[in-house]
Structures are given as structure tokens and as C-alpha cells.
Amino acid sequence: MLISHFTAMTVFAFLVSVVFGVLSKHTPREQAIYAAKVFGAFVGIALLLGWVMFLVPW
Amino acid sequence: MALLPVVGARAQEGFDQRVAKKTIEEAVAEKPKVRSGFLVRLLVAAWLIPGCGHFLLGRKWRALILFASILSMFVLGVAMQGEFFTLHSASYLRRLGFFGEMCVGVAMPAAFFFGYAGGDPYFVTSDYGTAFLVAAGMLNVLTMLDAYDIAMGRKP
């Protein structure tokens, strides 16, 4: 299965976020909100680090 | 006469503490003790099939979501030609990777049984696939620990 690194990273983040949300919180609403936050953090930080690595000259 | 209210307050405080302690002790004593045999069976079931521990504890929706997520991660890892580590490799990290992948349970031997020989390390997405396989195992470990906590009454 040929997919890009970004797609693999996003799918990975989604699956991990779902598991983290289910295990960490107790009500469905709390689980969904926490999973969304974790997913956002995964992808956001990865994008941020990508730009940092792009802009750093060495 | 002026000391009576002070003495009375201290006696009342001591009495309250004794009552509170007794209430906590009664609550702990009332919590049913979980048999170790049941815990072992629960952990083995949770290891072999992701989410099975939660299913045995009556958390069916949680079990279904965990099963679907962890198994999806494993299947995607196989689809991306992720590598199956072995115990016979010279590198300690690769041996750790074997244990990480084995934490998924029966999925890894099943993949072997159905002919998956461990992926093509030169395939473009093989590294991503390997990460997916090991991460699926690690998530299953978290799932097992969560089932244990629920069985012990530490979580609702």
C-alpha cells in the first residue's frame, strides 16, 4: 500500500488518539473531545517540527 | 467554663475523624476482592484479542472501539509491508521490537499462518508499516492495563 508520509502520520495519529480517548476518559463526550485534542496535537506538532526543520539552515 | 467550648470542639473533631476513618474502612472492606485467577485470565484474554478484557468486564462499546482501532493499526502495518522482528537477531532493539509486536496477541501468529512472511524491508512504506505494527502492540498493552484497573475497581 503506497501512501505518503503525511497520510501515514495522520492515520497513525487518528488511531492512537481514538485509543487514548477511550482509555483516558469515561463519558463519550469527554472521550471525543480528548481524542480530538490529542489528534490535533499530534498533527500540529508534526507540522510545526516539519517547518522548523525546513527553516533551520543546517 | 471558658475552656468547655474548646474541649468540646476538640472532642467533636476527634469523634468526626474516627467516624470518617470507620466509613473509609467500611468502604474498603465492602469492595469485593478480585480473585487472582480471574485477573490472570482477564489479562491473557486482553492480550490475545485486543479489547477482549473490556468485553469480559461488560464494557462492550469500549471493547469494540479498542478492537477496531488496534486491529486496524495492525492490518495497515501489514498492508504497508511492515517488518516482523525475530528473537534471533543480533540487535537488542530488534528483539525488543519482537516483543512489541507480540503484544498485539494472536494477530501476529495469525498473519504468519496466512502467509505473511514479515514484509519487504526495501518497500517504500515498510518503515511506516513497522511503526504501525509495534504501536499496535503498545496500544494493546495500555488496553490490558486499563482492563486490569477496571477489574480492580480503580476506574469506573
Inside any domain, residue B1: no
Q: Closest approach of chain A CAs to the CA of B18, in angstroms? A: 33
Residues B58-111: tens digit of each pLDDT = 999 999 999 999 999 999 999 999 989 888 887 888 899 999 999 999 999 899
Q: Closest approach of chain B CAs to the CA of A29, in angstroms? A: 13
Domain boundaries, chain A: 5-55
Inside any domain, residue B9: no
Q: Which residues in chain A are closer than 8 Å to B124, comparing Cβ atoms?
A: 2
- Alpha-carbon distance B95 to A33, whole Å? 37
The range of the structural domain enclosing residue B87 comes to 32-151
Burial class (CB in 10 A: 0-12, 13-18, 19+), B4: exposed
- Alpha-carbon distance B42 to B153, whole Å? 14
DSSP three-state, residue B88: coil
| Contacts of B7 by beta carbon, 8 Å cutoff, 6+ apart | none
Number of domains chain B contains: 1
Asked whether the beta carbons of B66 and B136 are under 8 A apart, the reply is: no
Asked whether the beta carbons of B155 and A32 are under 8 A apart, the reply is: no
Can you tell me the ipTM of this complex? Answer: 0.88
**pLDDT the model gives residue A1:** 73
Inside any domain, residue B18: no
Stated pTM of the model: 0.79
